[in-house]
Structure 1
Amino acid sequence: MGRKKVIGAQIVVDWRGEVGASVEGSISRVFGEIVDVWLLNHFNTLVLAVVIVGSVILFAIFGSVMLRRRFHGISEGKHNETVGVLLGVYGAIYGILLAFVVVAEWDGVDIAESVVASEATHAAEIVRGAAAFPSADRDRVIQAVGEYARVVVNNQWPLLKKGMPDSSQSEGALKNIYQMLQGYEPDTASEKAYYEQAVAHLDEVVSERRSRLVIAEQGLPVLLKVLIYGGALIMVSLTFFYGVRNRKAQLMFVGSVAALIGVSLLLTLALDHPFAGDLSITPAPFKQGVLAQFWN
């Protein structure tokens, strides 16, 4: 989806051989991600909508009222032609940028859901394939897969919601599945066929697990966030200068524009972190189908 995040100081070596740490940018980025995730996890979408959209509307109304009081010519619409052109041009550019971000983030959420479902599906296929193994080996493989599913849901998922994915949480359980398969030697043609499929599915589990952890680390780049939030500030501020003789009509105008921008900012925030908040991706696929037996 083109969303990216780097946590920690990046060491940069310039052409003179000098080493510097981009600590300031990394700290500000991490702090911003922590604040975003904290808001999503501690307030439901309705509360965030009231706070974010309401704040933008209040800012727009307050700014419009203060500017009308300070510059009486605004209410007469003396600069409406120029302001109208600026609003049209800037609104088109900002709208395209905002649409690009929202669509990209929405695609990212779809990808994340597909990755989680695929990981759980491949884990389930290992369980199904293990039915062809001798009972002792079958039980060991199934038990190992069950341990992995429980670790992902109980240990790793809470960290994903906090924006702090930790691969070590499921590393031991994943290694255990490999050990169970490596310790089994198939005899019949049927056992060999299902064994090869189980190993292939396990490789896919590893691949999808890595993708899930990478997605959980991703987020909008700082520069893009500056463009989105800074652009919203400029867009709302420009509406202050578009004069309407009737004050109520002007407040309705700036308020409606502010509400639209506020909702867009809320959507951008919610979609930026697919594992956090009310709209987050759940570990439900790890509790469905043949994997449901591990939760009874």
Structure 2
Amino acid sequence: MFVHVSLDRYPVGVAAIAFSVGAVLVFQAIVRKSIGPETLKKSHEVGGYYLSLVGTFYAVLLGLVVLDAMGKFQSAEKTVQNEAKALLSIHSLSEQFPGEQAAVKDLVKSYAREVADKEWALMEKGQVSAKAQHTLLLLARHVKSLDPKTPNQQSVHPALLSEIISLWENRLDRTRVSNFGVPTAEWVVLLVGAAITIAFTFFFTTESHGIHLVMRGMVTLLIAMSLYLVLLFGSPFSGDLKVSQRPFLFIEDVASEFL
């Protein structure tokens, strides 16, 4: 939803947070001037109960969403590591098949290079590389067609097939749609909830308008930063905070060294 305006880039995100805080403070000043502090004070008692209810509900909701987004990011990191481990295992186990070793390692290198150099950039746009998927399919077919003859080969071949399955599973987990951003419906609920929570604070005032603005700014800043965390962690493969492709670069270097 927000990737199109690059809010997941730190400079843009920080500017957006600062703008939102400033806009709320300006609006608060307008509300105070339009309604008057005496009228606002009359709503303190009833407004306090509503704010407590709304604020508690939104705090719990926002906290759960932030935790879920951080969990998604950590899960994506683990998936990438497991995918790279499976690729490295295939590269290593193929040494038991001297006649096919070069072909397997070449496919491993090609897949790692395509993922690191091309697919990572495509995933920023919510896309995947058809070439990477085709290369992995060729690798799977090649491993499946291996003819184990020696006892070592016969014991290694099932492990190779198992690693191919693991490689496919982790690739599917990495490229699933949920890794490409937070659902629009979730953003609507979060943003509307933030607007309602902040709006409720407009019905309160203090003798010192300056102190009130400072408190209002801190509340708005806290909510805005929490929403920004959801944005950053909710899209593990885009923005300035994203899962690294270094495991695949390492595989590419290893495959190049031993080809």
TM-score normalised according to structure 2 size: 0.92
Deviations 1:208-254 (A, max 9, x none): 11111105654333222111011111111221211111110111111
Which of 66, 69, 79 is residue 105 of structure 1 equivalent to?
69
- Cα distance in 1 for partners of 2:95, 2:256 equals 19
Which of 9, 22, 39 is residue 7 of structure 2 equivalent to?
39
Structure 1 residues without counterparts, runs of 5 or longer: 1-31
3-state secondary structure, aligned to 2:176 = helix
- Cα distance in 2 for partners of 1:126, 1:274 equals 26
List structure 1 runs of 4+ shifted beyond 3 angstroms.
Answer: 73-76, 215-219
1:1-296 aligned within 5 A: 32=1, 34-35=3-4, 38-40=6-8, 43=9, 45=10, 47-74=11-38, 77-134=41-98, 136-166=99-129, 168-215=130-177, 217-288=179-250, 291-294=252-255
- Cα distance in 1 for partners of 2:38, 2:254 equals 69
- Cα distance in 2 for partners of 1:34, 1:295 equals 35
The 1:203/1:247 distance shift into structure 2, 3 A limit, reads same
Deviations 1:2-36 (A, max 9, x none): xxxxxxxxxxxxxxxxxxxxxxxxxxxxxx25426
- Cα distance in 2 for partners of 1:182, 1:254 equals 63
Shift of 1:152: 1.1
Q: Please say if residues 165 and 217 of structure 1, whose CA atoms lie closer than 8 Å, have aligned partners that are also in contact.
A: no
Q: Please say if residues 102 and 267 of structure 1, whose CA atoms lie closer than 8 Å, have aligned partners that are also in contact.
A: yes
Q: Which amino acid aligns with 1:164?
A: Q
Shift of 1:137: 1.0
- Cα distance in 1 for partners of 2:47, 2:197 equals 11
Shift of 1:171: 2.1
TM-score normalised according to structure 1 size: 0.81
Shift of 1:77: 2.2
- Cα distance in 2 for partners of 1:74, 1:113 equals 54
For these two proteins, the number of residue pairs brought into alignment is 257
Deviations 1:111-158 (A, max 9, x none): 111111101100100011111112x31111111111111111112111
Give RMSD over aligned pairs. Answer: 1.9
Shift of 1:184: 2.6
* Partner in structure 2 of residue 15 of structure 1: none
3-state secondary structure, aligned to 2:73 = helix
Percent same amino acid among aligned pairs?
24
Q: Please say if residues 122 and 202 of structure 1, whose CA atoms lie closer than 8 Å, have aligned partners that are also in contact.
A: yes
Deviations 1:156-177 (A, max 9, x none): 11111222234x2312211221
Structure 2 residues without counterparts, runs of 5 or longer: none
Q: Which amino acid aligns with 2:61?
A: L
